[in-house]
Amino acid sequence: MKFCVLLMSLIFVSLQGCGLLEQEGGEDGMSVEAVACGADGECPDGQVCRSETASGSKVCRNAKIGEEHFFARVSLAVASSDEIHLVTVFRLPQGVDGGQRPAEVPSEQFIPFSLTAAQSQSGLSAKIHRVRRTREEMVSSPRSRWDFHRHQVGAKISESHRVFPGLWYNTDLESSGCTECLDGEVCWKGQCASSLTAKFEDGSDVACSRGTVVGESGHNLGVVFDSTIEDGDIAFLKAAAETALKSFTDLYALMDLNDEKLKEVDIDGNGYPLLVFTNKTSSNVGTDVVGFYNPADLAAAGTSGATGNESDILWVRPPKDEAGKRLAVSTILHEYFHLLNFSYRTFVKGYRQESLWLDEAQAHLIEDLMGYQDANSSILESVTSQFSDPSSPRWPDVGFATSTLRIRDDSETRRGQGYLLLRHYIDVESKRAGAGSASLMEVKVTAQELYRSLLEDSKLGFSHKLFDGWDDTRHGNFLLGVFATQSEQYSAVDSSVIYLPRPAGEKTGAWLRGDFQDTSGKTFLLEGPYAEDYSDPIFDFEGDSYELVDSGAQYFLLSGMEVGTYQLEGKSDEVGIALKVTRLK
Amino acid sequence: MKHFVFFWLSLGGFAAEIRAEQIQGGTIQVGGTDLFMAVSLESLGVTTPLGGELTKELQRIHGAQVRVVGQMGAEGKFVVNSYQIIEIFGKKPMVGKVSTQGEGTVLTVESKKGKALKIVLKVSKRSRLKRWATENLKVWVIARELPSKELKVIRYGLLDVLNSSR
């Protein structure tokens, strides 16, 4: 019996491999030799049968947009009803008709596709219709996941919405001119000052005072406080600034920014970024914004859109307690990454501003790597949401590489997807180099290579060199890693695609399932990304009923299936859709 | 004479309107942040920032080729009064409001002569288009005609701001 199961598994793996190879060949389009055909079904996946020759004979060629074709035909062998399989349908960002990959996809586009299944019997494919189980039956079934779904009503955190505007590019600023400032002063516009008036993003004044410069390991951070902050809170806030500063050395190391590069990105030449603790709000910056960074602060006065601050400023809300302090510290690191990324790419290298989705993904990864993964609670909760509603879109409701993040309230889910993509890259590469845990010490070299590669490359988003080898197979492995990590029952999954384990006692590493504690100490149950639960692929797959968000992915979890071999078929009028089948258990 | 004066004034007013409005073509580029979206039109390497209420719709079609009608406003922005989508993803989309008629999903588009044309779409029962149809939202749709003359949706997106649930 064991031999039989093993044999079935091998057949399945072989078939799956063939399916992927066929699909990749079809997308290539350059090396595929013309193959004579009589009908679309005779062509490899991703191709159609058309008259393309002078003689009028039909050959297989790559499908174009608007031509219905099979994007996948895969055999699924089930040797035991205990098995659990995962079907993942996804689409990497692509140009027209599978052309050059863009940095991101236009915001939120939907692509219909169909999925059907049939069972092979004596060499014939036969559709078998069974009575579909009701929702109630599914709930009572031990093989259903419905009973695990508990929506965390009211538990969602109203977390920070970090602002990262960026339209202005100007490096024509003079160096600070400050001589050594006294205690209680910061260098502002070339002069030592204990108080200053900075311009908020809407042009209004923010009167700041009680300036100070905190130092750690040769790095400094200027700090000022707006007039709403009481003197009694200054020591607490200064301590928060000092805590953030302790991580600057690691941040610079990850971004491979040495002293020379740091001087180049220090726009006002004062030797440090300026942290402004403020309670100020505007129509764009509400009370829910924990912190932000505004490139308009960096532009020379007189430049269109410039605030006139001419300084590298990190705007942060003053935390009220220890939990808030942790969120504020992680926000300082998040925003400082944005500031450095923008300044280095645009001022030093002359590149364009990074694609929003990738910029945010990198900033959230910084929080994780610096040990503030608990501050990523809202993005992790969003990607593991099980019920779709306007305030909590699920994994399949959004695409992760879109030109805009906030279409409605789905910004957090998109951020979560982008962050998980980068964390998976680091974890898989670090594992190859022998890493055993997700801690910064173990993954630092890989993480540094990732950040360096993205910083030094003039391209944007998904067109970066880093993603040159990121094909359907690699993306399918990432999606599998997201689904199968931290689930003990999915024991059949290749461990190389699973995220690195989180080190005990450290707030770092991918978190997708199980209890998760945020910065305020609240505990959430994360349940992995949403999947459709099916037990009878022949009946449950609904043909023309599906839609994929471009650059997104959809999971189908198959469990409790009858023993046999199933033929899964995916069809679409859009090119570039991929399908991956994996036995989880 | 009165008629002549009236005609002259009307013509003059119309001409002034023509002078004020400009037509520009190019590709929509979306940048900035999710809170501070910046929408611009890129043509032959020249980027023109766009302004006006319609930028809320235009920010949803990054990369689309469009023709915009409007005028230069304050702060160097081209204020869009109307626009036409030429191409999304290499195809000319239909643009209109989606609605429900009986069991069917219908897209109402404006013809070149300004008449409302109703087009029946073939969409799945779980399609977001069906849900948006209940709210009569503005969408773009790329579709192909089936032998049955039905229009099968290949790709689509929302142009309106969505207020209710997905």
Find chain B residues with C-beta within 8 A of A112's C-beta.
Answer: 123-124, 127, 152-154
Tens digits of residue pLDDT in A155-167:
222 233 222 222 3
Banded pLDDT at B4 (limits 50, 70, 90) = very low
Confidence check: pLDDT of A189 > 60? yes
* Confidence band, pLDDT 50/70/90 cuts, at residue A264: very high
Q: In this complex, do B35 and A165 lie within 8 Å of one another by their Cβ atoms?
A: yes
The model's pLDDT over B22-43, given as tens digits with 9 standing for 90+, comes to 999 999 998 876 556 789 999 9
pLDDT, tens only, A385-412? 888 765 668 999 888 888 877 665 668 8
Query: Mean pLDDT, to the nearest integer, of A276-295?
Result: 90
* Predicted pLDDT of residue A406: 64
B15 pLDDT exceeds 70? no
Alpha helices in B21-139 (DSSP H): 55-58, 128-133
Predicted pLDDT at A174: 41
Is residue A542 less than 8 Å (CB to CB) from chain B?
yes
Cα separation of A146 and A124, whole Å?
Answer: 34
Mean pLDDT taken over chain A: 83
Q: Region A204-213: what's the mean pLDDT?
A: 96
Q: How does pLDDT run across A305-331, given as a tens digit for each residue?
A: 788 999 999 999 999 999 899 999 999
Residues B31-84 pLDDT 10s: 876 556 789 999 998 989 999 999 989 989 999 999 999 999 877 789 999 999
Give the pLDDT of residue A411.
Answer: 81
Q: Is the pLDDT of residue A506 over 60?
A: yes
Confidence of residue B162 (pLDDT cuts 50, 70, 90): low
Please report the pLDDT score of residue B147 as a whole number: 86
| C-alpha pair distances (Å), A174 with each of A166, A178, A221, A268, A301 | 21, 11, 20, 7, 12
Whole-angstrom CA distances from A279 to A184, A200, A417 are 21, 11, 30
In chain A, what residues touch B123 (CB-CB under 8 Å)? 112
A569 to each of A58, A543, A577, how far by Cα in Å? 23, 9, 12
| A511, pLDDT greater than 70 | yes
pLDDT tens digits for range A133-182: 333 333 333 222 222 222 222 222 223 322 222 233 333 334 466 877 89
Contact A112 B153 (CB under 8 A): yes
Q: How far is CA B51 from CA B41, B63, B68, in A?
A: 10, 17, 11
Q: Is there a contact between A547 and B165 if contact means CB atoms under 8 Å apart?
A: no
Chain A residues touching B154 at Cβ < 8 A: 65-66, 111-112, 573-574
| Lowest mean per-residue pLDDT among A373-377, A557-561, B159-163 | B159-163
Are residues B125 and A406, on separate chains, in Cβ contact within 8 Å? no
**What is the average per-residue pLDDT within A274-290?**
91
Collect all residues of chain B within an 8 Å Cβ-Cβ radius of residue A545: 124-126
Chain B interface, mutation test: which of A71, A115, A167, A542, most B Cβ atoms within 10 Å?
A167
CA distances from B150 to A5, A566, B128 (A): 47, 31, 19
pLDDT at A300: 80
| Closest residue in A to B164 (Cα–Cα) | A390
Cα–Cα separations (whole angstroms), residue A295 to A165, A261, A329, B90: 6, 18, 20, 34
B123 interfacial to chain A (CB closer than 8 Å): yes
Residue A10 confidence (pLDDT): 38
State the pLDDT confidence band at B21, using cuts at 50, 70 and 90: confident
Are the Cβ atoms of A166 and B124 closer than 8 angstroms? no
More confident residue, A174 or A89: A89
Map tokens 């130092």 to a residue.
A215
Ranking A74-88, A291-305, B92-106 by mean pLDDT, the lowest is A291-305
Element spanning A409, H or E: none
**Percent of chain A clearing pLDDT 90 (strictly above):** 64
Mean pLDDT of A100-114: 88
Whole-angstrom distance, CA of residue A124 vs CA of residue A209: 81
Q: Does A389 touch chain B (CB under 8 A)?
A: yes
Task: Select from B33, B63, B128 the Cβ nearest to the Cβ of A164.
Answer: B33
Whether residue B165 lies within 8 A of chain A, CB to CB, comes out as: yes
Average pLDDT, rounded, for chain B: 84
A112 interfacial to chain B (CB closer than 8 Å):
yes
Residue A563 DSSP symbol:
S
Three-state SS letters, A484-523: HCCCCCCCCCCHHHCCCCCCCCCCCCCCCEEEEECCCCCE
> How much is the pLDDT for A168?
30
Q: How confident is the model at residue A196 (pLDDT cuts 50, 70, 90)?
A: very high
pLDDT of residue A342: 92
Asked if B62 reaches chain A (Cβ–Cβ under 8 Å), the answer is yes
pLDDT at A442 over 90: yes
pTM for the whole structure: 0.85
Read off the pLDDT of each residue in A102-118 and give the average, rounded to a whole number.
Answer: 90
> What are the tens digits of pLDDT across the range A461-501?
999 999 998 999 999 999 999 999 999 889 899 999 999 99
In Å, how far is A281's CA from the nearest CA of chain B? 13
In the structure encoding, which two tokens stand for residue A302, read together? 């007189």
Left if phi > 0, otherwise alpha if psi is -120 to 50, otherwise beta: which for A59? beta
pLDDT at position A132: 38
- Using the structure block, give the residue that is written with the tokens 């013309």: A34
